[in-house]
Chains A and B, each alone.
Chain A
């Protein structure tokens, strides 16, 4: 009897551990797809507001993991600004000052170029590092995971619900909920490009669920993946000069 109980308990433990491991693997796969591979891409960022719509053209160079260099090409007023992300660190560069500012952690939630994307969304593997995942639904067309923040995680969200393609693990939607359980933001991924067996979304829509008429659209064009990106691209000097 005792041995049966011990066996059953061990199996149960393994099962939960297994389930956890599977959920973690799925999240990793989803983020791999989201971040694409190392390479260069041109992005058109459209920020829609009730009063006006603003369009930016941006060049982004990334290592497919947690480092990226972003430079603003258009409009002319903003051109020359650059942003370097290395892991959890982010530097802002302004051409008028010729200086880079390291973003204080308190400002990571500030919006990037006035859009619905925050600095913390730009790069890094936030969802993997700061959240605990659990698979909450499995169907033929979509796989759903619910992410809850780990204790002490620096996030304003109470919960994130992710759906992905069950076969490819390409991300479909991320819905962000605040601490009170209200949905505040939805990110939808579409128009996937397959590059080196990563399913990379070239169109991303970020919708502010609390405010009517506020959304940001990210469209990727001109992308080259799978290339070797020089280390120099991810140093402060690259902010001014590019690479």
Chain B
């Protein structure tokens, strides 16, 4: 029956090539959709985990706190020591975020001043990603500050100028003067306009001695979404080590909106792909129907010989399946090759690349496709083949042999 179906397909070579070609094209597009989706997701993931870490440690209940002083982790040095003992392989960042007013040259803005200390690898990454002019304040620099470039422009200050920070309601000096040593590009305009960076020591002196708002931990070997589940074990270990006074959250818990956006990508791509498959399916239905009409007498003879309805329907469905699978195989081959290239790294053309950088994405992406996504393509193909052939197949099943044999088109 497979040989029969296969040879029947190629009776009308042009038509079948066109239909199989349409399926091939749709499969190729779907592979690219999934590949791009994965690339963007991985990019988002990477940026996010570099910025905020795979895990974050806060004081328990930090989200409900309104007073600056109640949301801090005190004895930060000791807590950090404990963290590094439990997870020695992680890169770390310790940050103290201080809301305040920054003034320069007569202008002022409400900002969040982040005092940060990084492990060397993360510091280098931060610098590479964000620094556009000057330098980052050193680990023990109490005077240097780096401003978001938009903030600097709004305050009309440049490298070397002095700025003044007011942080009322905090636990340290409450106000300080800094010298601008660097300018940063945070990628997002809103962050850029209200962010400044000092050393952790400087922020602690200003607002909360030996305290931090959070610790972030990043695992350098976990760079793709597929591997993300491995952080759960680390989360458990650290939670146990630190006790109930502190919460250890994954990036998903800290930024659920981002996590939701990332989770949406695959279903969204699948929906787009499904639409394309439906369109191609219409072409398949047309092709199968036409070939049925052209062979009605033949079907009549086959039924006269004793084929039952199920066998006849099976013949039509088999033709559809073979046609679609043949097209899908070709499409998958091209798709696979394209993705193999895109997995080496690719960039979007310029206006798009900057727009994506604004949204927090890197400039170089790495495409990929998962097994479940390939299986999804297979399922879509099979579904299209079967659903598209359903109407013609049922029509074939309803034929009466004698009438069919007498049929003239």
Contacts and interface: CB of A to CB of B under 8 A. Distances in A.
Interface stretch (B44-52, B144-152, B174-182, B346-354): B174-182
Contacts of A107: 101, 110
Contacts of B101: 92, 101, 103-104, 107
A99 interface: yes
Contact of B108 (A49, A51, A101): A101
A96 B164 CA distance: 11
Contact of A94 (B67, B69, B166): B166
B370 to A, nearest CB: 44
A97 B177 contact: yes
B275 to A, nearest CB: 40
A114 B168 contact: yes
A194 interface: no
A106 B110 CA distance: 7
Nearest to B175: A94
Most buried by B among A77, A97, A102: A97
Nearest to B66: A211
Contacts of B169: 111, 113-114
Interface in B165-219: 166, 168-169, 173-177
B74 to A, nearest CB: 13
Contacts of A96: 173-176
B110 A99 contact: no
Nearest to B169: A114
B67 A97 contact: no
Contacts of B69: 51
B103 interface: yes
B109 A97 contact: no
Interface string A104-125: 1011001101100000000000
B110 A92 contact: no
A115 to B, nearest CB: 9
Contacts of A97: 164, 166, 175-177
Interface residues on A, range: 20 to 34
Contacts of A113: 168-169
Contacts of A94: 166, 174-175
A77 B175 CA distance: 12
Interface residues on B, range: 10 to 19
Contact of A101 (B67, B164, B173): B164
Given A97-B176, A101-B101, A101-B103, A92 B166 contact: yes
Interface string B91-107: 00000000001010010
A114 to B, nearest CB: 4
A92 B169 CA distance: 13
Given A104-B109, A104-B110, A99 B164 contact: yes
B97 to A, nearest CB: 16
B89 interface: no
B67 A114 contact: yes
B70 A51 contact: yes
A68 to B, nearest CB: 18
A111 B177 CA distance: 22
Given A101-B101, A107-B110, A92 B67 contact: no
A99 B103 CA distance: 10
B27 to A, nearest CB: 51
Contacts of B106: 102
Most buried by B among A78, A101, A114: A101
A101 B101 CA distance: 8
Interface in B42-70: 66-67, 69-70
A51 B177 CA distance: 31
Interface string A45-75: 0000101000000000000000000000000
Contacts of A114: 67, 168-169
B168 A51 contact: no
Contacts of A104: 101, 108-110
Nearest to B99: A110
B251 to A, nearest CB: 29
B166 A49 contact: no
Contacts of B70: 51
Contacts of A77: 174
Interface in A139-168: none
21 contacts: A77-B174, A78-B174, A81-B168, A92-B168, A94-B166, A94-B174, A96-B175, A96-B176, A97-B176, A101-B101, A101-B108, A101-B166, A102-B106, A104-B110, A106-B110, A107-B110, A111-B169, A113-B168, A114-B67, A114-B168, A211-B66
Interface of A: 49, 51, 77-78, 81, 92, 94, 96-97, 99, 101-104, 106-107, 110-111, 113-114, 211
Given A97-B164, A101-B164, A107-B110, 10 more contacts: A96-B173, A96-B176, A97-B166, A99-B164, A101-B108, A101-B166, A102-B103, A104-B109, A113-B169, A114-B67
Interface of B: 66-67, 69-70, 101, 103, 106, 108-110, 164, 166, 168-169, 173-177
List 3 A-B pairs, minimum CB-CB distance, nearest first. Answer: A94-B175, A114-B169, A101-B103
